[in-house]
Amino acid sequence: MGEKQMEESIDTWVMAGTEQMSRTKIMQSSANNIPANIGRYFKLKGPNYLIPTACAAGNYAIGYGFDFIKRSDLDYALVGGADAFSRLAFTGFQRVHAMASEKCKPFDKNRKGMLVGAGAAILFIESLDSALQRKATIYAEVPGYGISCDAYHMTASKVEGIEKAMDKAIKYSRVQKEEVDYINAHGTGTQGNDKTECAAIKRVFKERYKSIPVSSIKSMLGHPMGAASAIEALTCCLTVKENIIPPTINFETPDPECDIDCVPNKAKVKKVNIALNNGFAFGGNNSCLVIKKFQD
């Protein structure tokens, strides 16, 4: 709802001037209407937040819900992200030359950029006691997460900021780097982002980096902005449950600066106990969520 009202307001601004813009429509474009309406519709009580960290928002939301549950402030929470296709986003990324003309090719030497997508993913997270009591199907565990905000650049990522988020996630979750079986990359398909993310992975995992599958589902779904890391967190849950690693499609030419195992073009069947979900956003809002196989 919000983006539609915002785009209509901008159309009015361009065609008729600011005096003709509707105050009501501007008020309706407030992004926090989304979780507020969800809470109202389902009659949910308790904390209700929208965390505006763009492409990393899903990870931030899951981490925030995790904190509430770990402190015993909540038994369960609905967390995730949603974003609709927007002319504003499409035009904006086109203007900064971050869009591919045909297809998204993460980690490929000849990658030309991202493609704007849309979507949503909502996860139900709860304490283990709550899940066991109601005999729920448990897809995965969240042992921890890591975030950093390096404020390095409005659009460019910084190796040290990404490295810090990944290191914090691993340390907080009390897992060993040798235990990480899969990384769901932020992997936008832009020259700078993919190069920087690969450099950070190399710094975190040292000589082991080539043996860890690292794939980008944005090659298949496009970049759904605020929904991205939530959809990718859901992907990680299914990966550790089913032991199937999704591929990076459209991969043709290896890039020496991105010499990771990007799971090119075909899914890989492999036991995955620990997965990392990377999500990086404008302004240096970096996040890394750890997803662990549930051992019943």
Asked whether residue 101 falls in the same domain as residue 11, the answer is no
223 is catalytic: yes
Q: Which domain holds residue 24?
A: 2-30
Q: What is the mean pLDDT of residues 84-88?
A: 81
What pLDDT score was predicted for residue 33?
76
Residues 7 and 90 in one domain: no
pLDDT of 159 strictly over 80:
yes
Looking at the structure, tell me whether residues 219 and 276 fall in a common domain: yes
More confident residue, 243 or 44: 243
pLDDT at 95: 81
Whether 49 maps to a domain, the answer reads no
Which token pair is 125? 């997270």
Tell me the backbone φ, ψ of residue 281, rounded to 5 degrees. Answer: -135, 170
Annotated active-site residue 153? The verdict is no
Decide if 48 is inside a domain.
Answer: no
pLDDT at 39 over 50: yes
Q: Do residue 82 and residue 9 come from a single domain?
A: no
151 inside domain:
yes
22 and 132 in a single domain? The answer is: no
Does a structural domain hold residue 44? no
Mean local confidence (pLDDT), 108-137: 95
- Give the active site residue among 186, 198, 236, 288: 186
Mark whether 196 and 254 lie in a shared domain: yes
Find the range with the poorest average confidence among 2-11, 102-111, 208-217: 2-11
For residue 258, being part of any structural domain is answered with yes
- Determine the average pLDDT of the residues in 204-217: 97
Residue 45 in any domain: the answer is: no
- In DSSP terms, which residues pair with 213 in a beta bridge? 261
Task: Please report the pLDDT score of residue 12 as a whole number.
Answer: 81
Claim to verify: residue 25 and residue 121 sit in the same structural domain: no
Instruction: Kindly state the average pLDDT of the residues 74-85.
Output: 92
Residue 156 belongs to domain with CATH number: 3.40.47.10
Mean pLDDT on 179-203: 97
Let me know whether 12 and 124 are in one domain.
no
Mean pLDDT, the chain, rounded, equals 92
Q: Same structural domain for residues 217 and 156?
A: yes
pLDDT of residue 87 exceeding 60, the answer is yes
**Angstrom distance (rounded) from CA 173 to CA 214:** 20
The mean per-residue pLDDT over the stretch 143-156 comes to: 87
Is 38 a member of any domain? Answer: no
172 burial level (CB within 10 Å; 0-12, 13-18, 19+): middle
Residue 226 in contact with residue 54, Cβ under 8 Å?
A: yes
Share of the chain above pLDDT 70, in %: 95
Size of the chain, expressed as the number of residues it contains:
296
Residues 22 and 155 occupy one common structural domain:
no
b vs e for 94-132, b when ≥16 Cβ sit within 10 Å of the residue's Cβ?
Answer: eeeebbbeeebbbbbeebbbbbbbbbbbebebbeeeebe
Interior/surface letters 176-198, b for 16+ CB within 10 angstroms, e for the rest: eeeebbbbbbbbbbbbebbbbbb
| Average pLDDT for 215-243 | 97
Cα 114 to Cα 100: distance, rounded to the nearest angstrom: 5
Q: Is the pLDDT of residue 37 over 70?
A: yes
Longest dimension (CA), the chain: 62
The pLDDT confidence band at residue 29, using thresholds 50, 70 and 90, is: low
Res. 56: pLDDT tops 90: yes
Q: Helix, strand, coil proportions of the chain in percent (round to 5)?
A: 45, 20, 35
One domain for residues 89 and 17: no
Question: Measuring CA to CA, which residue among 286, 229, 227, 222 is closest to residue 31?
Answer: 227
Per-residue pLDDT at 250: 98
Residue 54 pLDDT > 70: yes
Mean of pLDDT values over 107-113: 97
- Whether the pLDDT of residue 158 is over 60: the answer is yes
Q: What is the mean pLDDT of residues 272-291?
A: 95
Number of domains, the chain: 2
**Same domain as 171, residue 93:** yes
Task: Give the model's pLDDT for residue 1.
Answer: 44
Q: Lowest-confidence range among 73-82, 96-105, 210-219?
A: 96-105
Catalytic residue among 104, 149, 198, 223: 223
